[in-house]
Structure 1
Amino acid sequence: MNSKTEYDVVIVGAGIAGAIVAYELGKAGKKVLILEAGPAVPADRSKYMDTFFKAAAKTPESPYPPATQNAVANSLNNPLGLPDPSTENTPRYTVLQVDAWRKPTQCYFDYPPQDANVSGTSLNAKFAFASSYERIGGGTTWHWLGTCLRLLPQDFELKTLYGQGVDWPGGEQFYQDLVPFYEKADQEINVAGDKQRMQRLYEQFGVDPSGTYGAHYDFPMPGIVPALQDRVYEHATLGMKYEGNEVYVSPTPQGRNSRPGERRQCAGNTNCIPICPIQAKYDATVTLARALQTGNVEIRYQHVASNIQLDSTTQQVCAIDYISYTHANGIATGQGSVTGKRFVLAAHAIETPKLLLMSNKNPGFENGVANSSDQVGRNLMDHIMYLGWGLAEKPIYPYRGPLSTGGIESLRDGDFRKQRSAYRIEIGNEGWQWAANDPGTTLADFIFGQNNSQLNGNSVNQQGQQLRLDDNLPANSKLFGQQLVQTLNQAYTRQLRLGYLIEQLPDANNRVELSSTLKDNLGLPRPKVTYRLASDYERKAFVSAKQITTELFTQLGATEYTQDPGEPNLSNAEDASATKFQYQDDSGTLHNFKFYGAGHIVGTYRMGDDPATSVLNHRQQSWDHANLYMVGSGVFPTIGTGNPTLTIAALAFQGAGHILDDLAGA
């Protein structure tokens, strides 16, 4: 193919959604061009692995360009040693920026200032957005965990059933229509799962395993071998109930090979986030390669979409402008436009609305393309994470196998959703890596006589339990040699971590806009993000998560180490409370919470039944421009209670079918 090719479809973004659409269209004989802002898929992942090994912080984005580890730390202006996003062609947010969010020179997002004198309990308090994404070939699936859960039927009717949020277009019917595409997504990702052991969950949520849903709910591969701690939780929760719901462990369907196949079998490296070294875990480069092998798909890497052109007569999209570059973070080396019959935006829930809002030069759409509803960029959501951690009585040997092989899914739905958010509980298998930055924190404590882990001092938890690891050691011990090794083994082999994926309601004030002051190296505006926990609905779920964490650890006979993050001081620009808040529950008790990002960025160009309140119709087609489609996590009207990637993939398969139908009827 060459620049003169007449494309049937132009796609922006080469992540899982863009790759699936390209693959489906390419198989059908359509000529497809993908514009990808980031670098090409490497021939192998050895360079990414090398970067990961050398990175001091093993964050989700640490292996990938643009590099986050190589800037020179400066105690005054850049104490974390973070790169300057104004020098990058494809900047994207990193976890390391979360606590530096009020310093534009250190942060990839432009955040509005905090309201003066705002308190920690205020619902108007603005927070740092705590999730990141990738801008490279293959997208964010490079660093995803691999969890492949479907949404529940109830997740599509949150407003109808519980009076909260909004429904998906068509409600339960939309869910029923999506079922066969969930099956296609399972096959494409090659999901490993255990249908027989999921049976209990089907029955609890009114899903007939022999009916429409269940007939499609089988898995291409047998389930991954569960971690030892999954079995420990299974035994401890026998007969347990919480708020009327049974509490039990379900195996987690996941996108990694449980046996050799097209990809290698999982070897249990336990660094699935940020990178699987052997590609046992699925990433979208697999589907992208299939798309290219059709012979009908072309991809242009390092081509940053910069504007969407509309035909002044028909208001249909007629071209997408781009800026290209040759060297990473080098100067722009080209610019141009590409045309097609249909256009698909698949550039993630931050970059897609940014592109739409940048395209504000079209008469009648001065607020951005596809934005007559003023909903582009709004309703930014994430699964807000609560973490609880503790020490088991006996070794459960974490840090072996995938990062999570089981979870508690039985609390994902119920009448409580009228009052508070639902959540699923992920049973972590990486010890305190996420919760306390282990193994480094505990190692440093026992070498230097510190107590940041609470294992080497005189701390007491909220239940009055002594938290010292070994009563035979004095507080703030400094150890070396065999005693150090034995002490560390005593800690690391018993570490437990629970993560709560708390659903967040759509809020029009949580949004992506264009920064008026901050630009990237190509001169394009960086995103301006406003983010808050806008209602007691989510905050009540944190209280619930805190309560059941204590109950679960009590059932296990474990000692809880979950730390109180302290009272936030949101009016202090130097306070690292960017993800901290305080909540007073119905009994008058004050709780301090720290939340974490799940990396599930959704909702900024949502589907709906009404063009006045949504960006897309149920076909993922723009209400304003009939030849423009959008796929990816931004189409979600609500976030539901399951990790979103499998639903993103299913929606991409469904959307590709709609595009093919429209091309056939053109």
Structure 2
Amino acid sequence: MAANNCMTCDVAIVGSGFAGSLIANELRKKGITVVILEAGPGVPPNINKYMKTFYEANAKVPESPYPPDLFGEPAKMAAGRPTSLMLGASWNDPKQSYLVQKGPRPFTSTYDRVAGGTSHWLGTSLRFVPSDFTMKSSHGKDTKDFPFPDWPEDTTSETMSKWYGLAEAELGVSADMEEQKYLGIHFPDKYTYPMPRIPGSLLDQRVGEALAKLTEDETKFLGMDQPVTGIKVRSLPAARNSQPYRNRRACAGNTNCIPICPIQAKYDPTITLNDATDRGAKLIDHAVASEVIVENGRVGQINYITYKEENGPKTGEGCVKAKIFVIAANAIETPRLLLMSKNDGRTPNGVANSSDMVGRHLMDHPYYLGWALLPQTAKPVFPYRGPLITSGIGDLCDGAFRAKRAAFRVDIGNEGWNFVVAGLKFGGDPHVTTIDFVNGMNSSGINTKEFSQLGDEKSALFGADLANKMNSLTTRQFRIGFLVEQDPDPNNRVTLSSEFTDGLGLPRPEISYNLSDYTRQGIVAAYRMRKLLFDKLGATDFTHRLPDASGDSPGRFEEMIDGKPVTLTYGGAGHIMGTYRMGKDSKTSVVDSNQRSHDHNNLYLVGSGTFPTGATANPTLTLSALALRTADNIATNLRSRG
């Protein structure tokens, strides 16, 4: 495409999610001209249409409010995306699934491609613990083939503290600093979070009480450095207003933070994106970046394709020239764009890929779930009130055990059995349990003689009997989730499909993915922790109660535990990381600690794709902190060039 037809600016950004929006806004504060290319729709004037789509959706999956159509054909979508509905039995069918999955295990995380990016996040805003940045030196010094590297020397808990604080202010994080001082997390003197913490739920309190006193024998399986005789439940830092903040309301407890907060008490990147465009950043939506053009070792322009309708066709082409380029298109779409950029054979392996590391080391937090019913004698915990998660267990995510098995972090759910019994034709709970007792079914596993207590194997109820039964059961249902660390395996990767394309004729992402023994053993430890917690609560475990509970899950696998084969399952946490990692050595990494390409000094690749390791904390706060540091570096470079 002829350069004289291109728009020009100081900085061109591909993607308007967390990293792209934060960088655009910071640069506009300094008067730097910015153009943002967004593959999906732009920012709507309000969220009413998204809310209507969500309310009317039969499947209340995380992607349901946002375009394109959940049931669209991947080959026809102009800006396709993976969705939860694509990751069931048809996960490896390219005609059904946008991601062309080659296995051997399914990659089960999803993402959106709309202005604002991952607006369906929960809001969890945890800092990494210090050892997360130094895995090799902290846990693998004596292990020859230890798969975890250290992060660059200038990216540590202490050096990141300033940027974490700035990110917490921009996102609006509610938390208590004293409560978050565990495992050596660093805070500056007299630091305070922007808002007080979100209050814990009744279930949070119950779990805390159950784990307050333990024996060394009960917790020996954890492999911690010191004997564990009690486990603390801590509130989770959340980018959700506990009080009015920056002209946004306080959380009203709507319990659908995923996928959308109806009052925008939860931060999403459209807030910062609107600030950036109000300051003069130009947002071009429905513009899919198709090639990064390199000239004499530097990026000269980015070409893009435009469309209007979800299923195309292409309506035009464009390009943008800039002094500096930023790719912020997430950890699957960024390597896809780089690998598509062949430059007429001048970059046959793609742009920024002299190391052959682009697309490699794909990571997630494999998510292991457990759900149970508190005893009838216990006080109800009343789920479905407040945010989906308000507390968790983080103190177990570092220790000597990390030399041998993955760490995990525990989320305490506040939505009963909502999505753990979903996937059926009539959705998730409390709908599933209700239909069971109306129609005498047992899809939830709870409508049995043991729990109906009415003498029938499967009760069919109505009127007061139905209301009383539902009040008794749903108020005692709860679930927990384990976010398990994944090691960065170079064979877990994103490449380009040579066979399947999207609606614009561009090759779709091809995924190769597996779980190592290191990660699977982390899930085994999570299984043991689940059993310990449920035992302490006196709860009836429903996780594997039904014979076919794991039978239709593509994430199932078997492990020997205490001499017996046990079927375990994992799902995706939506935490896509690692596919263009940072490091000092250009032979083993793609970008430096400022997220600048080793190969092209005017190209920055940002987001969680730069993470050398994934830890157990949700990646959003860390990628936001890195984005702010990168914005500062870009501004400094532009000033130095005049």
2:600 is the alignment partner of 1:625: yes
| Partner of residue 80, structure 2 | 91
- TM-score (norm. length: structure 1): 0.89
Query: Which residue, out of 413, 435, 439, partners 1:428?
Result: 413
Q: Deviations over 1:492-549 (max 9, x none)?
A: 111111100001000111111111111111111111111111x211111111111111
**AA paired with 2:580?**
Y
Q: Give the whole-Å Cα distance in 2 for the aligned partners of 1:339 and 1:168.
A: 35
1:45 CA displacement: 0.8
Query: Which residue, out of 629, 634, 637, partners 1:659?
Result: 634
Matched residue SS, 1:6: strand
2:259 is the alignment partner of 1:285: no
| Partner of residue 438, structure 2 | 447
Whether contact under 8 Å (2:13, 2:35) holds in the other structure is: yes
> Structure 1 residues 173 and 594, CA, compared in 2 at 3 Å: closer, same or farther?
closer
1:589 CA displacement: 2.5
| Partner of residue 599, structure 1 | 574
2:323 is the alignment partner of 1:347: no
| Partner of residue 557, structure 1 | 538
> Structure 1 residues 593 and 238, CA, compared in 2 at 3 Å: closer, same or farther?
same
1:370 CA displacement: 0.5
Whether contact under 8 Å (2:5, 2:319) holds in the other structure is: no
**AA paired with 2:49?**
K
1:565 CA displacement: 7.7
Matched residue SS, 2:637: helix
| Partner of residue 406, structure 1 | 391
Q: Give the whole-Å Cα distance in 1 for the aligned partners of 2:190 and 2:343.
A: 46
| Partner of residue 341, structure 2 | 359
Q: Give the whole-Å Cα distance in 2 for the aligned partners of 1:102 and 1:192.
A: 40
Q: Deviations over 1:320-372 (max 9, x none)?
A: 00001123323111102110000000001110000001001354420110011
Query: Which residue, out of 299, 308, 311, partners 2:292?
Result: 308
Whether contact under 8 Å (2:134, 2:151) holds in the other structure is: no
| Partner of residue 545, structure 1 | 526
1:236 CA displacement: 1.6
What's the RMSD between the two structures over aligned residues?
1.9
| Partner of residue 425, structure 2 | none
Query: Which residue, out of 415, 432, 437, partners 2:400?
Result: 415
Percent of aligned positions that are identical: 46
Alignment of 1:140-151 (within 5 A): 140=118, 142-151=119-128
1:218 CA displacement: 2.4
Unmatched runs of 5 consecutive residues or more in structure 2: 141-145, 423-428
| Partner of residue 457, structure 1 | 448
| Partner of residue 227, structure 1 | 201
Whether contact under 8 Å (1:568, 1:582) holds in the other structure is: no
Q: Give the whole-Å Cα distance in 1 for the aligned partners of 2:546 and 2:618.
A: 26
Q: Give the whole-Å Cα distance in 2 for the aligned partners of 1:488 and 1:32.
A: 55
> Structure 1 residues 375 and 217, CA, compared in 2 at 3 Å: closer, same or farther?
farther
**AA paired with 2:94?**
P
**AA paired with 2:135?**
L
Q: Give the whole-Å Cα distance in 2 for the aligned partners of 1:168 and 1:340.
A: 33
2:252 is the alignment partner of 1:274: no
Query: Which residue, out of 291, 308, 328, partners 2:310?
Result: 328
2:210 is the alignment partner of 1:236: yes
> Structure 1 residues 562 and 618, CA, compared in 2 at 3 Å: closer, same or farther?
same
Q: Deviations over 1:90-123 (max 9, x none)?
A: 11000111121122211111122x6xxxxxxxxx
Matched residue SS, 2:156: helix
Q: Give the whole-Å Cα distance in 2 for the aligned partners of 1:88 and 1:4.
A: 26
Whether contact under 8 Å (1:567, 1:582) holds in the other structure is: no
| Partner of residue 26, structure 1 | 28
Q: Give the whole-Å Cα distance in 1 for the aligned partners of 2:532 and 2:476.
A: 18
Q: Give the whole-Å Cα distance in 2 for the aligned partners of 1:5 and 1:88.
A: 26
Whether contact under 8 Å (2:364, 2:576) holds in the other structure is: yes
1:289 CA displacement: 1.0
Give the stretch that moved more between structures: 279-288 or 513-522. 513-522
Whether contact under 8 Å (2:204, 2:391) holds in the other structure is: yes
1:176 CA displacement: 2.2
Whether contact under 8 Å (2:294, 2:343) holds in the other structure is: no
Q: Give the whole-Å Cα distance in 2 for the aligned partners of 1:481 and 1:566.
A: 31
| Partner of residue 558, structure 2 | 582
Whether contact under 8 Å (2:326, 2:604) holds in the other structure is: yes
- TM-score (norm. length: structure 2): 0.92
> Structure 1 residues 175 and 363, CA, compared in 2 at 3 Å: closer, same or farther?
farther
Whether contact under 8 Å (1:385, 1:500) holds in the other structure is: yes
Q: Deviations over 1:427-471 (max 9, x none)?
A: 00010112112112212211222222111126xxxxxxxxx3232
Whether contact under 8 Å (1:446, 1:478) holds in the other structure is: yes
Q: Give the whole-Å Cα distance in 2 for the aligned partners of 1:426 and 1:171.
A: 31
Matched residue SS, 2:566: strand
> Structure 1 residues 372 and 564, CA, compared in 2 at 3 Å: closer, same or farther?
farther
Query: Which residue, out of 98, 107, 121, partners 2:97?
Result: 107
2:31 is the alignment partner of 1:40: no
1:555 CA displacement: 1.4
**AA paired with 2:558?**
Q
Matched residue SS, 2:128: coil
Q: Give the whole-Å Cα distance in 2 for the aligned partners of 1:292 and 1:335.
A: 22
Q: Give the whole-Å Cα distance in 1 for the aligned partners of 2:330 and 2:209.
A: 40
Q: Give the whole-Å Cα distance in 2 for the aligned partners of 1:403 and 1:604.
A: 29
Whether contact under 8 Å (1:582, 1:592) holds in the other structure is: yes
> Structure 1 residues 434 and 240, CA, compared in 2 at 3 Å: closer, same or farther?
farther
Unmatched runs of 5 consecutive residues or more in structure 1: 69-81, 115-125, 459-467, 570-574
Q: Deviations over 1:458-491 (max 9, x none)?
A: 6xxxxxxxxx323234111111222112111211
| Partner of residue 123, structure 1 | none
Q: Deviations over 1:365-392 (max 9, x none)?
A: 2011001111111111100111111112
Q: Give the whole-Å Cα distance in 2 for the aligned partners of 1:44 and 1:32.
A: 24
Whether contact under 8 Å (1:157, 1:167) holds in the other structure is: yes
Q: Give the whole-Å Cα distance in 1 for the aligned partners of 2:581 and 2:432.
A: 41
**AA paired with 1:132?**
T
1:168 CA displacement: 3.8
Q: Give the whole-Å Cα distance in 2 for the aligned partners of 1:4 and 1:454.
A: 60
1:217 CA displacement: 5.0
| Partner of residue 498, structure 1 | 480
Q: Deviations over 1:153-183 (max 9, x none)?
A: 1001111111243334334753322110000
Q: Give the whole-Å Cα distance in 2 for the aligned partners of 1:440 and 1:568.
A: 18
